[in-house]
Amino acid sequence: MTLTALEIKNAKPGLHSDGGGLYLHVGPTGGTSWIFRYQLDKRRREMGIGSLAALTAPEARAKAASLKAMVAGGQDPLDARRATQASAREAAALAVAPTASHTFRDAAERHIAMKETGWSNPKHRQQWANTLETYAYPTIGNMPVEDITSAHVLDVLLPIWPVKPETASRVRMRVEAVLNSAKLLGWRIGENPAVWRGGLEAALPPKSRVKAVRHHAALPWQQVAAFMADLRARSGIGARALEFTVLTAARSGEVRHAQWAEIKDDLWIVPAERMKARREHRVPLSPAALALLEQMPRIEGCPLIFPGTRMSPLSDMSLSAVLKRMDLGAFTVHGFRSTFRDWAAENTDHDRDAVEMALAHTIGSKTEAAYRRGDMLPKRMKLMAEWADWCGA
């Protein structure tokens, strides 16, 4: 029997059956709503289908009949409603999501442009750009900023967190700032995947507790001047070769085999066969590097600038032995290339490509390399002169 209009009006608190699984629920304070009860797969369930104010008795009965038909067909009305609600939420999210795909690089450039007017140091802009260019862009630079997750940020940080915790922490903070700006611009939604508290701290140790894993351990760039002063006070071919290695940011093998014939005015032209990339490399020589060469004796019949015993090239351990005698810990000769790179990225406004070319690294794709054609020598001249100044030369 269905409930009459009068029974509905005078119903006391509790459940009142209307038939077909439909019930009128009256709450203790007089609130009324319709409930549909059903059984599916031996499970008894109930779901609300609307208030009495929103749904008349005939409408509630029609709704209950529709739900009963779903149950008869093996479909759970509650599951169906939840699926519909989930679809609606997804549609709503899409409605407020960015309409154009902006990359992380786009967001970083916009963030820097918005903030730079408030930076007192004019070099700060390039330092920001260099840090992201060096450490973040290779991994997430071309990713849509709305797609970046904590996993992607970890991909940026994990290679450098154990080795350069201070630098890695700075990178994380800058990525976080860029993503905050992207959200304010409407380019992404949701939580910031680069936050430390309640986020990345669960996956990374605090920087203060990191015991650096040193593959080619690099002397911090802030300590280079003191190191070079100590090095210049030491005698020997190995010490001079190490000093020249630091001043030129070259690989030790390139320096150990360097010949006088390769010095052309203020350039050191390393032949392709001695270069890792198998391309001739022009190294601009700073006044300090040229002064060092002037101190080196020329030995008749020996083409080498830094000869070892029997006029043969120095061994690969000779420069490492100098470092060991200086008792500096685990720092390596090759690590000075990283020191130079970190100094340029964090303390100068030099173009990242000029820095990479100074290190004889391949720049971008073959297409990009062909497009550039030049080796940015004027920019590298200035870069290496500033590096020598930083080294206290």
pLDDT in single tens digits along all 393 residues of the chain: 789 999 988 989 888 999 999 999 887 777 788 899 999 888 888 888 888 888 899 999 999 999 999 999 999 988 888 888 777 666 655 554 444 589 999 999 999 999 888 887 767 888 888 889 888 998 999 999 999 999 999 999 988 888 788 888 999 999 999 999 999 999 999 999 999 988 888 888 887 666 544 445 788 899 999 999 999 999 999 999 999 999 999 999 999 999 999 999 999 999 988 888 888 999 999 999 999 999 999 998 999 999 988 888 998 888 988 998 998 877 889 999 999 999 998 888 888 889 989 998 876 544 344 434 467 899 999 999 999 999 986
Alpha-carbon span 100 to 146, nearest angstrom: 10
CB atoms within 10 A of CB 265: 7
Q: What is the DSSP letter of 167?
A: H
3-class secondary-structure state, position 22: strand
32-40 vs 43-51, strand pairing mode? antiparallel
Q: Residue 363 has what pLDDT?
A: 63
CA distance 249 to 255: 10
CB 330 within 8 A of CB 253: no
Q: Which of 37, 31, 46 is nearest to 17 (CA)?
A: 37
CA 317 vs CA 37, 176, 235, 327, 351: distances in Å: 83, 42, 17, 15, 33
Compute and round to an integer the Cα radius of gyration of the chain. 35
Instruction: Quote the CA–CA distance of 185 and 316 in Å, as a whole number.
Output: 53
- Residue 189: the pLDDT is 92
* Rounded-to-10 torsion of CA 165, 170, 174, 180: 80
> What pLDDT is attached to residue 369?
47
d(CA 183, CA 111): 11
Residue 106 structure tokens: 């786009």
- Whole-number Å distance between alpha carbons of 390 and 341: 13
Strand-pair partners of 284:
267
Q: Strands 267-270 and 281-284, how do they pair?
A: antiparallel
- The answer to whether 249 and 336 are in contact (CB under 8 A) is yes
Tokens of 328: 């500096």
In order of their start, the domains of the chain are: 5-96 (3.30.160.390), 104-209 (1.10.150.130), 221-390 (1.10.443.10)
